[in-house]
Amino acid sequence: MLQVTNLTKTFGQMTAVDHENFQIKPGEIMGLIGQNGAGKTTTFRMILNFLTPDSGQITWKGKPLKQADYDQIGYLPEERGLYPKMRVDEQITYFARLHGMKLAEIRRQLPKWMNQFQVKGKLTDKVKDLSKGNQQKVQLIATLIHMPKLVILDEPFSGLDPVNASLLEAGILKLRDAGSAIIYSSHDMGNVEAISDRLVMLRNGRVVLSGEVGEIRQSFGRTKLFLESELTPKQLAAYPEVLAVKQRGAELELTLSDPAVGQKIFAAATQQGYIPEFRQVPPSLDEIFRLKAGGADE
């Protein structure tokens, strides 16, 4: 288990990370989210010992990280770092050997990973001759092929189309199922909600949200209501608890200040009998992100 306790890092007068706390268990995926400059990459760099914290503690399995532990970490930086003139197989083999993999095992595993990520290119191609998307896949394979016990991915979905993002999700889930602890950052709340067991949100270096994704959404109440009925936007906007009404084709999307008004709206909508849709849910993770990233810390 990775445990981060009261982690703090300053650069001059700027506090990049401010008494940060979280933990990740084996077989768990944690999304670390926040606006640009919130402290995500600084957190990763301290875990990896690229930066020294001003205060606080980072432990792995209850003990400070040692050199042997770093061999069990897979790290994908936000800025790609491939050698463009090296062949794909040489590139991945080089990084895998750094993590202690035997050459025979690398050669056995490499075609499987190339197939899993559907890399369009041959193992003998030079990295520079691949598309940017396929170069990113090669670096992902180099990050994951040694089946690390702790995986740190900084904006891994950046630049990937939906199909390739799904391939990456499958690769992350494969590692989780094998018992790896995974922490990653993303600005795509759809990805975060789809695969994260837990999330931590940073704002100005401070943790403003932490917990299981479902529990966090539920804590904001069922303030989103989707309705298809004979009621008009004007009639619905007349309820004091209805903050906004948006028309989306035949469907209306309501934002509520008090979830309890949903019962009144349901009663009014069903006076005419059957209605095609009535759905009351918590706000999406994207909406929560917008609220907390730009709002107060409490």
| Average pLDDT of the segment spanning 144-171 | 88
Please, what are the domains in the chain? 2-217 (3.40.50.300), 221-281 (3.30.70)
Give yes or no for residue 89 having a pLDDT over 50: yes
**Helices 103-116/162-177 angle, 10° precision:** 140
pLDDT band, residue 159 (cuts 50/70/90): confident
Provide φ and ψ at 207, rounded to 5°: -75, 120
pLDDT band, residue 142 (cuts 50/70/90): very high
Q: For position 297, what pLDDT does the model report?
A: 42
**What does the pLDDT look like over 172-196, one tens digit per residue?**
998 999 999 999 998 888 888 889 9
Distance of CA 94 to the CA centre of its chain: 28
**What does the pLDDT look like over 203-219, one tens digit per residue?**
999 999 999 998 999 99
The average confidence (pLDDT) of the chain is: 92
Give yes or no for residue 18 having a pLDDT over 90: yes
pTM of the model: 0.85
